[in-house]
Structure 1
Amino acid sequence: MSITVFCGLAAQWAVGTLSDRFDRTVVLTVIATAIAVVGGFLFVIGETSFGGMAVGMGLFGALMFAVYPISVARAHDIFGGQEAVAVSAGLLFAYSIGASVSPVLASGMMALLDSPFGLFAFWFFINGAFAVVTLYLKKQEKVEIVAVEDQVAFVPMKSTSPVVMSLDPRSDLEIDRY
């Protein structure tokens, strides 16, 4: 478990950098496909090789812990700043549903296969489906991606009033001037 968590922590910067340079939908699809491959690998070798299990769990952590942050970033790419709270609330709600239902489904898969390694088969099927659905939704999408060279650098701001946001030259908001 420690290997999984520490590899997930270590990979955040690298995966975040990739998602900033490439289309986040493509990055999510690649990550979901890689998790499915790792899940299949662990299902096949899990019982025979502790070293293979440790490496596979490290890869799993590095990939799985990046899915939610990239999904949030992708959602915020699509929806404007005014909708950020509602979008984040919806994502947290979806995450909580998945976190509640997945243990039941995973244990069902483990019972069906009569093996604790059924968990890895569950990861294989769920992430494979996630990759396919993400690709399908990407083809249906009508959103234009802003090219990296056209993006502005992130500027952190100290805690301030909403009026300051309208004074920011990058903002579309305007205030009445006296």
Structure 2
Amino acid sequence: MLSLVASAAAVFMAAALFIAGNMLLGTNVALRLSHEAYGAATIGLILTQYSVGFVAGTWFGPRLIRRAGHIRAFSALAAITGCAGLAYAIGIDGVFWALLRALNGFCGAILMVVLESWVNAHAKPQTRGRFLAVYMVTYYLAGAGGQLLVAAGDPADFRPYSLAAALLVLASVPLCLTGLQAPPPAEIRRLPLSLLMRVAPLGVAGAFAGGFASSAFYSLAPVHLARTGGSTGQVAAYMACAVLASMLLQYPAGRLGDRLDRRRMILLIALVAAAASLGIAALGQASIAALFLSSMLFTGVLACLYPSVLALTHDQLPGRDLVGANAALLSFWGIGQCTGPVIVAGAMSLLGPGGLYYGMAVVLIVFAAFVGLRLRTTPALLPSLQAPFAPTQATTPQIAEMDPRAPVGDEADGGGGPA
């Protein structure tokens, strides 16, 4: 296993550089907009353009990769997103920055498709689960590192943008110099969205709720802390802790869900995440320690939602194309990401900075109520018939290729009952 990971070290290094630069840039943009006294609704609208661009990139990126090849596509788009990072320092303009965020999201999606395709291509069937675990650890550690770099400079200065741009461009160097063979052109298979809504409505609702809350938090939590008196250093540490917490509970929560009706575990996740969100709103201003701990509980539990609903969706689609199901589920995650910051920013405008957490709690409580309704109206699937849980991250459809539950060349047809 160590030799296998070492053989793909260039890919993991490229992923770490890109993720760190992307996280640094996103948080710095949010802080700069807050310092410039933009309204919460305007900030939410600008920041959500990253998700809009990301969703578009997952749909159109594979076509570009097939035409240009993985290394050329990655190098070109890393250069473009790096230039976009530098362009933020030219001056503040809401429309211009919204376009830059959409461009960053579009390029970022294609870069992630390349990286995850490459990681998957070098993971043997018997080691996919462990390879996925190494990739996830790389993802979260690099993300936390990028958040800590926010404290390296003033958000109003050009230096943080230059540092982010440098990391984004440097991400192309390991791939350009690697001797690894490029993977075959990316092919994204998606199940019809109507089929997924009919067969796995709880999975669809969970993906939407998870994308909604995740995007709202990572876009607007820096704004909330800055507007309640937090320094740039505190924001950096806060966001880094939130990212690190996201990987701590996935495996234990998933294994517990394997022993229960998985829907009950999803209900517990939604309720605990909602309670933690309300706790942040109620206790966050009283103590910095309470803010950090309640936020870490929130992000740690929320990160369990997508892999849990993905596992439930797999349970409900026996014999179907599980990679295609994941790709379709990510479409609903993307819709949630595109709407979360805009809607929650409206709550912040009405209720103050704490409206971020009240808004996310409402969505999670509504989702929990839907889960409770499904528990009452549809039969449970025996735990012995459930597919084993696999921790994962909602990024691009290529990540599903590493899922150990998805057979190689999964093309079978079949069906299942609604969740």
Please indicate, yes or no, whether the TM-score normalized by the shorter chain is above 0.5. Answer: yes
Aligned-pair identity in percent equals 27
1:3 aligns with 2:241: yes
- Structure 1 unmatched runs, 5+: 166-178
Q: Which residue of 2 aligns with 1:110?
A: 348
CA contact (8 A) 2:344 2:355 kept: yes
2:338 match: secondary structure: helix
CA contact (8 A) 2:261 2:382 kept: no
1:81 match: secondary structure: coil
- Structure 1 segment 36-55 matched on structure 2, within 5 A: 36-55=274-293
- Structure 2 unmatched runs, 5+: 1-238, 390-403, 413-419
For residues 88 and 152 of structure 1, what CA distance do their matches in structure 2 show? Answer: 14
Q: Which residue of 2 aligns with 1:172?
A: none
2:272 match: secondary structure: helix
Alignment partner for residue 262 of structure 2, among 1, 12, 24? 24
Superposed displacement of residue 81, structure 1: 2.4
CA RMSD of aligned residues (A): 2.6
For residues 47 and 109 of structure 1, what CA distance do their matches in structure 2 show? Answer: 18
Alignment partner for residue 338 of structure 2, among 100, 119, 128? 100
1:64 aligns with 2:302: yes
Q: Deviations over 1:54-74 (max 9, x none)?
A: 000110111010100000000
For residues 388 and 343 of structure 2, what CA distance do their matches in structure 1 show? Answer: 42
CA contact (8 A) 1:106 1:122 kept: yes
Q: Which residue of 2 aligns with 1:125?
A: 362
Q: Which residue of 2 aligns with 1:139?
A: 376
Q: Which residue of 1 aligns with 2:160?
A: none
CA contact (8 A) 2:274 2:360 kept: yes
TM-score (norm 2): 0.35
Superposed displacement of residue 153, structure 1: 7.9
Q: Deviations over 1:86-124 (max 9, x none)?
A: 4223211110000000110110110110x2121110121
CA contact (8 A) 1:35 1:123 kept: no
Aligned residues: 159
1:10 match: secondary structure: coil
Identify the structure with bigger relative contact order (alpha carbons < 8 Å, sequence gap 6+): 1
1:33 aligns with 2:275: no
TM-score (norm 1): 0.79
Superposed displacement of residue 84, structure 1: 2.2
For residues 322 and 329 of structure 2, what CA distance do their matches in structure 1 show? Answer: 10
